[in-house]
Amino acid sequence: MIENFRRLYGSADGLRIWRAPGRVNLIGEHTDYNLGFVLPLALDLAAYVAAAPSRDGRLHIRSEHRAELFECPAGEIAALEPRRQWTDYPLGVARELVRAGFPIQPANLLIRSTVPEGSGLSSSAALEVSSALAFLNGRTLEPLVLARLCQRAEREFAGMPCGIMDQYIAVYGRAGSAVEIDCRSLEHRLVALPAGIAFLAVNTMVKHALAASAYQERVAECAAAVERIRTRLPRVESLRDVSPAQLASVAPLLSGVAARRARHVVTENARVAAFVDASARGDLGRMGRLLVESHHSLRDDYQVSCPELDFLVDAALAVDGVFGARMTGGGFGGCTVTMLRPGAIPQFGERIARGYARRFHVTPAIYPCRPSAGAGEVKNCETIPSAV
């Protein structure tokens, strides 16, 4: 990557490299913007941003994965409009940093990412957080301020009304642990996973066009359900506040669709707590069943699954040594996450790849989910994986 940098920019003087991971969410889907609970882990797939001061007063951004180059005077960055392309992630972050009192210095940036785009493994948050660190170039920002600033960039500049999960885990990920996040208090606790299991993400290799609009629709549907519920339970501020018993009592107020969306969120929050509890007790069977219940709720009540995801979940459940599987991330394509015995991995990979290719004519990529560290500077001794 340093060689590439030198070739593209002529010099690598003052170069520093920053990394931020993608994530897989084990359970707690579409709960973050309802101020509920999520349980992601940071992956060893990550975005890397190499940055060095430039001498021409300008900001230059290149990616190893794209031909086009972005450049503009560093002082003009905050006035830019979104362009509806990948540069919106670093540029949105740059604008938020300027607003937060951190001027952008003239610099050359080179991006590499091993988080597959469109996979639902949060390549955009990885790019946002690693870019933020590169722009900061050693200036410090509270971790929570950093995560929220990157979320704001995604919401306001990239135009995706996301919750906090992806940026939070990119910042707070920890090697060896999943992280249970309370999306209201924005506190978290580390969750050690039991021995004797592994998680694999399986990529459908599709991202259906309606993913973005359906996401916005779900956010709006949840807000509308809260408005209705408040007419009876005025203290409710988000679906996080609604217990299963309360939901039953207000069900007659809600339309069929609103009731299903709310039921998913309310039951999914309960499943996160149950999963963490089962994990602490080493109850692998219960953990697996909760994953499958989560998938069914996302498929039937929240309606964000698709045939490819459903196929991968059903196919996984037919393999010996698999405890459970579900879609992960926003849905409408992207990845599933499967919990299985490590010894079952070779057979699983083979059977899933063969079955999926026969049905959908594309080979699914499979990624081991190794809980990894959150964002930071890449040290001299670390290797940067080659680009995918």
The catalytic residue positions are 166
The residue with tokens 């951190």 is 102
DSSP summary character for residue 383 = P
- Alpha carbons 374 and 139: distance in angstroms, whole number: 17
Among 43, 49, 52, 165, binds ligand GLA (CB under 6 A): 165
Q: How far is the CB of 342 from ligand GLA (least distance, A)?
A: 27
Q: Which of residues 65-124 bind ligand GLA (CB under 6 A)?
A: 122
Q: Which amino acid is at 315?
A: A
Token duo for residue 73: 């005077």
- Alpha carbons 325 and 207: distance in angstroms, whole number: 19
Please, which residue, 21 or 163, has the CB nearer to ligand GLA? 163
Q: Would you tell me how many other CB atoms lie within 10 Å of the CB of residue 233?
A: 17
Verify binding: residue 330, ligand GLA, rule CB under 6 A.
yes
Verify binding: residue 132, ligand GLA, rule CB under 6 A.
no
Verify binding: residue 333, ligand GLA, rule CB under 6 A.
no
Q: Indicate the helix (H) or strand (E) that contains 201.
A: strand 198-207
Give the ranges where 26-116 is alpha helix by DSSP (H).
88-99
Please, which residue, 32 or 344, has the CB nearer to ligand GLA? 32
Verify binding: residue 166, ligand GLA, rule CB under 6 A.
yes
Q: How far is the CB of 151 from ligand GLA (least distance, A)?
A: 8
Give the ranges where the chain is alpha helix by DSSP (H).
2-9, 88-99, 123-136, 143-152, 165-172, 211-230, 244-250, 256-281, 284-300, 307-317, 345-360
Q: How far is the CB of 373 from ligand GLA (least distance, A)?
A: 20
Verify binding: residue 180, ligand GLA, rule CB under 6 A.
no
Please, which residue, 108 or 114, has the CB nearer to ligand GLA? 114
Size of the site for ligand GLA (CB under 6 A): 11
- Alpha carbons 307 and 121: distance in angstroms, whole number: 19
Applying CB under 6 A, the span of 93-101, 158-166, 248-256, 319-327 interacting with ligand GLA comes to 158-166
The DSSP annotation for 157-194 comes to IS-----SHHHHHHHH-BTTEEEEEETTTTEEEEEEPP
Q: CA 365, 370, 376: angle at the middle one, nearest 5?
A: 110
- Alpha carbons 132 and 92: distance in angstroms, whole number: 10
Please, which residue, 54 or 269, has the CB nearer to ligand GLA? 269
DSSP summary character for residue 387 = P
Verify binding: residue 30, ligand GLA, rule CB under 6 A.
yes
Please, which residue, 169 or 236, has the CB nearer to ligand GLA? 169
Applying CB under 6 A, the span of 10-18, 26-34, 191-199, 288-296 interacting with ligand GLA comes to 26-34
Please, which residue, 25 or 114, has the CB nearer to ligand GLA? 25
Tally of helices (H runs) and strands (E runs) in the chain: 11, 13
Pairing outcome for strands 333-340 and 322-328: antiparallel
Among 94, 162, 312, 325, binds ligand GLA (CB under 6 A): 162
Among 116, 324, 329, 355, binds ligand GLA (CB under 6 A): 329
Q: How far is the CB of 81 from ligand GLA (least distance, A)?
A: 22
Verify binding: residue 128, ligand GLA, rule CB under 6 A.
no
| Binding-site ranges for ligand GLA (CB under 6 A) | 29-30, 32-33, 122, 162-163, 165-166, 329-330
